[in-house]
Amino acid sequence: MAIKKIGKQTVKFQKPPVIIATGTTVGPKEGEGPLRDYFDTVLSDDLYGENSWELAESKMLRESVKIAIHKADKNITDMDYMFSGDLLNQLMSTSFAARDLGIPFFGLYGACSTMAESLSLGAMVLDGGYADYVVAVTSSHFSSAERQYRFPLEHGNQRPPTAQWTVTGSGAAVLGTNGRGPKITHVTTGKVIDLGIKDANNMGAAMAPAAVDTIINHFKDTGFAPDSYDLIVTGDLGVVGKEITEEMVLDKGYNIIKVYNDCGLLIFDNKVQDTHAGGSGCGCSASVFCGYIYKEMMKNKLNRVLLISTGALLSTTSSQQGQTIPGIAHAVTIVNKLEG
Amino acid sequence: MAIKKIGKQTVKFQKPPVIIATGTTVGPKEGEGPLRDYFDTVLSDDLYGENSWELAESKMLRESVKIAIHKADKNITDMDYMFSGDLLNQLMSTSFAARDLGIPFFGLYGACSTMAESLSLGAMVLDGGYADYVVAVTSSHFSSAERQYRFPLEHGNQRPPTAQWTVTGSGAAVLGTNGRGPKITHVTTGKVIDLGIKDANNMGAAMAPAAVDTIINHFKDTGFAPDSYDLIVTGDLGVVGKEITEEMVLDKGYNIIKVYNDCGLLIFDNKVQDTHAGGSGCGCSASVFCGYIYKEMMKNKLNRVLLISTGALLSTTSSQQGQTIPGIAHAVTIVNKLEG
Name the band, by pLDDT with cuts 50, 70 and 90, for residue A152: confident
Q: Which of B98, B127, B128 sits opposite A192 (nearest CB)?
A: B98
pLDDT band at B197; cut points 50, 70, 90 = very high
pLDDT of residue B340: 55
Residues above pLDDT 90, as percent of chain A: 94
**Count of A-B CB contacts under 8 Å:** 193
pLDDT tens track for B179-193 = 999 999 999 999 999
Distances (CA, A) of A6 to A2, A39, B227, B253: 8, 35, 43, 48
Q: A50 CA to chain B: closest CA distance, Å?
A: 12
What type of residue is A170? S
Closest B-chain CA to A6: B130
Chain A positions touching B128 (Cβ under 8 A) are 4, 124-125, 127-130
Q: What is the pLDDT of residue A259?
A: 98
Comparing CB atoms, the residue among B90, B111, B131 nearest residue A315 is B90
Contact A121 B105 (CB under 8 A): no
Residues of B in contact with A91 (CB under 8 A): 109, 313
pLDDT at A312: 96
Q: What is the 3-state secondary structure (H, E, C) of chain A?
A: CCCCEECCCEEECCCCCEEEEEEEEECHHHHCCCCHHHCCEECCCCCCCCCCHHHHHHHHHHHHHHHHHHHCCCCHHHCCEEEEEECCHHHHHHHHHHHHHCCCEEEECECECHHHHHHHHHHHHHHCCCCCEEEEEEEECHHHHHHHHCCCHHHCCCCCCCCCEECCEEEEEEEECCCCCCEEEEEECCCCECCCCCCCCCHHHHHHHHHHHHHHHHHHHHCCCHHHCCEEEECCCHHHHHHHHHHHHHHCCCCCHHHEEEHHHHCCCHHHHCCCCCEECHHHHHHHHHHHHHHHHHCCCCCEEEEEEEEECCCHHHHHCCCCCCEEEEEEEEECCCCC
Q: Can you tell me the mean pLDDT for B49-64?
A: 98
| B208 three-state secondary structure | helix
Domains and CATH numbers, chain B: 5-176 (3.40.47.40), 183-335 (3.40.47.40)
| Contact list, A321 vs chain B (CB under 8 Å) | 51-52, 54-55
Of the candidates A204, A140, A170, A188, the one whose C-alpha atom is nearest the C-alpha of residue A334 is A188
Mean pLDDT value of segment A304-328: 96
The candidate with the shortest Cα–Cα distance to B66, out of B104, B98, B44, is B98
Contact A109 B91 (CB under 8 A): yes
Contact yes or no for A317 and B177 at CB 8 A: no
Closest chain B residue by Cα to residue A324: B96
* Nearest residue in chain B measured CA to CA from A320: B52
Say if strands A10-12 and A183-188 run parallel, antiparallel, or are unpaired: antiparallel
ipTM of model over 0.90? yes
Minimal C-alpha gap between B298 and chain A (Å): 26
pLDDT digits (tens, 9 = 90+) for A220-232: 999 999 999 999 9
The answer, yes or no, to whether residue A63 has pLDDT greater than 80, is yes
Q: How confident is the model at residue B271 (pLDDT cuts 50, 70, 90)?
A: confident
pLDDT averaged over chain B? Answer: 96
Q: Is residue A156's pLDDT more than 90? A: no
- Other C-beta atoms lying within 10 Å of the C-beta of residue B190: 31
Q: Are A306 and A232 in contact (CB under 8 A)?
A: yes
Distance from CA of A73 to the nearest CA of B (A): 17
Q: Please name the member of B96, B109, B126 whose beta carbon is closest to the beta carbon of A90.
A: B109
- Asked if A99 lies within 8 A of B326 by C-beta distance, the reply is yes
Of A131, A202, A136, A183, which Cα lies nearest the Cα of A297? Answer: A183
Interface of A with B in 296-325 (CB under 8 A): 313-318, 321, 323
- Rounded distance, CA A199 to CA A161, Å? 12
- On average, the pLDDT of chain A sits at 96
Distance, CA of B218 to CA of B8 (rounded, Å):
9
Nearest-by-CA chain B residue for A108: B108
Contact between chains at B189 and A106 (C-beta distance less than 8 A)? yes
Coil vs helix vs strand at B11: strand
Interface membership of B83 toward A (CB under 8 Å): no
* H-helix or E-strand spanning residue B317: helix B316-320
Is the pLDDT at A33 greater than 80? The verdict is yes
A152 touches chain B (CB under 8 A): no
Does the pLDDT value for residue B50 go beyond 80?
yes
Q: Which of A53, A89, A150, A197 to mutate to test the interface with B (most CBs of B within 10 A)?
A: A89
Confidence of residue A35 (pLDDT cuts 50, 70, 90): very high
CB spacing of B80 vs A2 below 8 angstroms:
yes
**CA of B66, closest CA in chain A: separation in Å?**
17
Whether A191 has its CB under 8 Å from any CB of chain B: the answer is yes
pLDDT score at A200: 87
State the pLDDT confidence band at B94, using cuts at 50, 70 and 90.
Answer: very high
Instruction: Determine whether the interchain pair B109/A131 forms a contact, defined as Cβ–Cβ distance below 8 Å.
Output: no
Give the residue from chain B lying closest to A120, CA to CA: B106
Query: Among partner residues A5, A110, A148, which is closest to B107 by beta-carbon distance?
Result: A110
Chain centroid, CA B184 distance in Å: 15
Indicate whether A340 pLDDT > 60.
no
The residue in chain B having the minimum alpha-carbon distance to the alpha carbon of residue A328 is: B105
- The full DSSP string for B107-161 is EB-BTBTHHHHHHHHHHHHHHTTS-SEEEEEEEE-HHHHHHHHS--GGG-----T
Which of B81, B93, B105, B193 has the highest number of chain A CBs within 10 A, making it the mutation to test binding with A?
A: B105
In chain B, which residue's Cα lies nearest the Cα of A94?
B313
Contact B315 A88 (CB under 8 A): yes
Per-residue confidence (pLDDT) for residue A151, from 0 to 100 = 87
- Flag if B111 and A90 touch (Cβ within 8 Å): yes
- Look at residue A37 in the predicted model and tell me its pLDDT: 98
- Chain A residue numbers with beta carbons less than 8 Å from the beta carbon of B99 are 192-194, 313, 326
Q: Which of A13, A65, A109 to mutate to test the interface with B (most CBs of B within 10 A)?
A: A109
Within an 8 Å CB–CB cutoff, is residue A111 touching chain B? yes
Q: What is the pLDDT of residue A331?
A: 98
| d(CA A327, nearest CA chain B) in Å | 9
CA of B52: which chain A residue's CA is closest?
A321
What is the pLDDT confidence band of residue B339, given thresholds at 50, 70 and 90? confident
Nearest CA in chain B to A93: B318
Point out the residue among B54, B80, B321 whose CB comes nearest to the CB of A52: B321
The one-letter amino acid at A180: R
Q: Do A104 and B55 touch (CB under 8 A)?
A: no
Q: Does B124 touch chain A (CB under 8 A)?
A: yes
